[in-house]
Structure formats: C-alpha cells, structure tokens
C-alpha cells in the first residue's frame, strides 16, 4: 500500500488556486508541493484538519491509501523520482 495526497483533485473540484488555498490554510505553496509529492515526513493533525475543512472533505479523502500499482501507473507518482525508502535494491551480479 502507498499513500497518495489528492490536494490538486480537491482544489479543482472547488475551483481554488494553490496560492489561494495556501493562504487559507496558512502554509506556503512550497509546503503544499511537498505534501502533494508525498515527500513530507510529518504533518500535524491540526494542519490536516485545516486542509480538510478548507477543502470540505472527510479526513481520509486527502491523504489516502491505495494499492502500490495504482500509484505508479494511474497517478504518475513513482516515475523518475528515484528509489523510495523501504523498497529493496535489486542485487547486482558479482563482477569478478
């Protein structure tokens, strides 16, 4: 399972720009990009609650769990992003 953050989807539904959303939630647009790219290591519950209230959705709608295959094929995440932690590296043949 992987975590996907659907801020862009919800912003498109309510017709709000990233800048307007960032101002309403009181975080920077750069922090929103970090959340969208799933690079954030921690997020406060108060921040998630503010995001949820601003977007008018439920707590599990913004960060949600999906099968790993869906994250790489449908959302485009995982392509060109390098290795993710926890994923084993392939073994290289012995070069003797």
Q: May I ask the CATH architecture of the domain 2-73?
A: Orthogonal Bundle (1.10)
Count other Cβ atoms within 10 Å, centred on residue 92: 6
In which band, very low, low, confident or very high, does the pLDDT at 18 lie, cut at 50, 70 and 90? very high
- pTM score, whole prediction: 0.64
* DSSP state at residue 91: P
Query: Mean pLDDT, to the nearest integer, of 69-87?
Result: 50
Give the start-to-end residue ranges of the domains of the chain.
2-73
Q: Summarize pLDDT for 39-61 with one digit per residue, the tens.
A: 888 889 999 999 999 999 988 88
| Element (DSSP H or E) covering residue 66 | strand 63-66
Say if residue 63's pLDDT is above 50: yes
Asked whether the beta carbons of 59 and 15 are under 8 A apart, the reply is no
d(CA 46, CA 49): 5
Q: Which two tokens stand for residue 88?
A: 């084993």
3-class DSSP string for 48-77 = HHHHHHHHCCCCCCCEEEECHHHHHHCCCC
């Amino acid at each position: 399972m992987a975590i996907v953050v659907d801020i862009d989807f919800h912003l498109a539904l309510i017709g709000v720009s990233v800048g307007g959303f960032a101002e309403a939630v009181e975080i920077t647009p750069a922090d929103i990009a970090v959340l969208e790219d799933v690079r954030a290591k921690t997020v406060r519950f108060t921040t998630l609650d503010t995001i949820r209230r601003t977007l008018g959705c439920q707590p599990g709608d913004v960060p949600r769990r999906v099968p790993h295959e869906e994250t790489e094929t449908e959302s485009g995440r995982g392509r060109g992003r390098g290795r993710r932690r926890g994923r084993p590296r392939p073994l290289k043949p012995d070069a003797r």
